[in-house]
Amino acid sequence: MPNMPDMQQSPDTRNIAIDKVGVKDIRYPIVVQDKLREQQHTVARVNMYVDLPEHFKGTHMSRFIEVLNLYHGEISVENMEAILAEMKQRLEATRAHLEFEFPYFIEKSAPVSGARSLLEYQCRMIGTLADAYDFILEASVPVTSLCPCSKEISERGAHNQRSIVKVKIRYREHIWLEDLIAWVEECASCQVYALLKREDEKAVTEQAYDNPMFVEDMVRAVTEKLRSVSSISWFKVQCENFESIHNHSAYAMVEEKNN
């Protein structure tokens, strides 16, 4: 409206540019590529930011929501760069940043009974557009780890724990979430499942016992796997073991460029 002042565009004299300003934790429906079913509809937590020059007092927060609504029903990895370009244009920015954090579901079969169930994985898509476009895919994968030290020194059994392996990658060619998750699960003492019958519990317990791994072992195993994937140009692997006999977690991390 012509008679209403635009306070965001008023000058600021403190000479401080802001790296990221915007809105966060918006719940919004998105579409994710599904390897078996082409598409999976889910609901993401969305963060949207742009940079702000030192001479402007503020940014127009409502325009972020306008951009989301412009792409309603079409938000996916394929048009993430276009959304970022729209953010830059509408908010008169030189850099835009967009994050989608969402649950992704994969159907899994129990190892013996074959009982099928859906397991949830927390995933993220992170896009940045300045002079060039940058995209990072992230998956948090729950797995089982069993302590080699506990197995070695104990007369009966060994302690195990549920672990989370978080992997971030940049890729040259498309990587399916299903493949990335499967690579991580192969590197653990054992996978986890949403549904297990008694025969399955026996199988996974014995598999973990036969495949003990420290947190360091799992990070190194995932690193070796990702190094072997030529389409991955960069990765970061983090593993956290939620210890069952300590009141703390064990943690390890590797970050590498993949030539």
Q: Is the pLDDT of residue 66 over 80?
A: yes
State the pLDDT at residue 38: 86
Instruction: Quote the CATH superfamily of domain 15-257.
Output: Urate Oxidase; (3.10.270.10)
pLDDT at residue 174, as a whole number: 92
Domain spans, the chain: 15-257
d(CA 146, CA 192) in angstroms, rounded, equals 13
> What is the model's pLDDT at position 2?
65
Q: Does residue 12 surpass a pLDDT of 70?
A: no
Mean pLDDT for 10-19 is: 77
Give yes or no for a contact between 83 and 67, defined as CB atoms under 8 angstroms apart.
yes
What does the pLDDT read at residue 56?
Answer: 79
Higher pLDDT, 40 or 56: 40
Residue-level pLDDT at 240? 96
> Higher confidence at residue 187 or residue 258?
187
Q: What is the pLDDT of residue 14?
A: 78
Please name which of 51, 42, 166 lies closest in space to residue 106, comparing C-alpha atoms. 42
Condensed to tens digits (0 to 9), the pLDDT of residues 154-213 reads: 999 899 999 999 999 999 999 999 999 999 999 999 999 999 999 999 999 999 999 999
Considering the entire predicted model, what is its pTM? Answer: 0.90
Q: Which is more confident, 247 or 57?
A: 247
- Percent of the chain whose predicted confidence (pLDDT) is above 90: 80
pLDDT tens figures, 114-136: 999 999 999 999 999 999 999 99
Mean pLDDT over all residues of the chain? 92
